[in-house]
Amino acid sequence: MTGRVTESAYAKINLSLQIVGKRTDGYHILDGVMQTVSLRDAVTVDFEAAAENTVFLTADGNPAMPTDGRNLAYRAADALLKATGRTGSVHIHIEKNIPMAGGLAGGSADAAATLRALNRLFGFPLSAGELCQTGAALGADIPFCIRGGTMRTQGIGDLLTPCAGLPPCSLVIACAGDGVSTPLAYAELDRRYGDFTHAVGASNPEKLIDALQKGDLSTVCGRMDNIFESVICERNPYVEVIRNALTEKGAVGAMMSGSGPSVFGIFRTEREAEAGLAELKRIGISGSVCTPVNREFSLC
Ligand code: ATP
């Protein structure tokens, strides 16, 4: 059997991200809302049945991305072959557009797209739940990236509850300065919040979810929050520069995504978003305009 499938690997932004505790195994317990956006990599997967498993990965767009077993998409292919009992040669090609180490889950998105692509090529042997389980073993953000849309994310990021997505709007996503190591960002938060042995403030994504349900963009933006933002702002001055520039250009809201340093601005119209992006370009910062993707992906 041979076949080829190309899947879009969509980035995510965090509309809300709080830490509500820490497990004894060191994992942080999260509560927040993730939103899929149209900024994406393209992942093409070729499969040829053979007696032995081999995985081969090539990429365009960012020479810094690993193409060996350190790449999450590579590991996803390996895991999918094992989970389905198929054997053969997998060639993955990634056209990389999502900024790396930016808090946009680019690696998780590529892994999720690889899992979806191989499952499709094999005629959907794994159910949606099994596909998410296979992904969760590789990274906490992967189940969300497999399903897409807008979801409340709890637990270590693996407990997903669908909710209403962003109302019609245009987004600018930009980042500058050094990428952020997610483990280091967590370590800094641990220092700041005494290892999360006591509850830290009130996490209240219900109010944000309610505003999403009502389609009220101003209230949604007023209820966005990200516990990582102040920590990363101290290390990367561009976070504030980008947020301020987008707000001055009329963004209804602007905030850092995940552990940063990418910042997104939410505009009512594409025209306003393009003006926001032009302002960033004027001060030497690159980014892109995209839209929310509110629908979940088809997994069968
Ligand atoms: P998250 O928001 O989930 O913390 P991120 O967007 O901050 O993720 P990624 O772009 O996923 O970060 O990359 C983090 C690191 O993972 C990179 O520095 C890179 O070495 C490694 N990596 C592994 N596979 C990939 C991939 N397919 N794309 C990008 N980075 C990858």
Catalytic residue list contains 141? yes
pLDDT tier at 154, thresholds 50, 70, 90: very high
Helices within 167-289 (DSSP H only): 182-192, 205-214, 217-222, 229-235, 238-248, 270-282
Task: For residues 77-105, give the mean pLDDT.
Answer: 96
pLDDT at 88: 97
pLDDT at 225: 95
Q: Locate tokens 């305009």: which residue?
A: 289
Task: For residues 213-236, give the mean pLDDT.
Answer: 94
The pLDDT mean for the chain works out to 95
Q: Is the pLDDT reported for residue 200 higher than 80?
A: no
pLDDT at 56: 97
Q: Is the pLDDT reported for residue 297 higher than 80?
A: yes
Percent of the chain topping pLDDT 90: 86
DSSP string, 174-206: E--S----HHHHHHHHHHHTGGG-S--S---HH
pLDDT at 202: 59
- Identify the active-site residue in 12, 46, 96, 249: 12
Domains by residue range for the chain, with CATH: 2-162 (3.30.230.10), 170-293 (3.30.70.890)
pLDDT, one tens digit per residue, over 204-217 is 799 999 999 999 99
Q: Is the pLDDT reported for residue 57 higher than 70?
A: yes
Closest residue by Cα to atom 13, ligand 1, is 101
pLDDT, one tens digit per residue, over 125-147 is 999 999 999 999 999 999 999 99
Q: Is the pLDDT reported for residue 248 higher than 80?
A: yes
pLDDT tier at 179, thresholds 50, 70, 90: confident
What's the gap between Cα 272 and its chain centre? Answer: 24
pLDDT at 77: 98
261 ligand 1 Cβ < 6 A? no
Q: Is the pLDDT reported for residue 201 higher than 90?
A: no
Q: Is the pLDDT reported for residue 101 higher than 90?
A: no
pLDDT tier at 203, thresholds 50, 70, 90: low
Residue 135 vs residues 72, 115, 132, 261, 285: alpha-carbon distances, Å = 10, 8, 5, 25, 33
66 ligand 1 Cβ < 6 A? yes
Task: For residues 102-124, give the mean pLDDT.
Answer: 97
pLDDT, one tens digit per residue, over 20-45 is 989 988 889 999 999 999 999 999 99
DSSP state of 90: E
92 ligand 1 Cβ < 6 A? no
For 87, the 3-state DSSP assignment is: coil
Cα of 213 from ligand 1 centre, angstroms:
31
In this structure, are residues 71 and 36 in contact, taking their beta carbons and an 8 Å threshold? no
pLDDT at 198: 73
Q: Dihedral sign, CA of 81, 82, 83, 86?
A: positive
Q: Residue 264: beta bridge partners?
A: 173, 255
pTM for the structure as a whole: 0.95
Q: Dihedral sign, CA of 298, 73, 100, 195?
A: positive
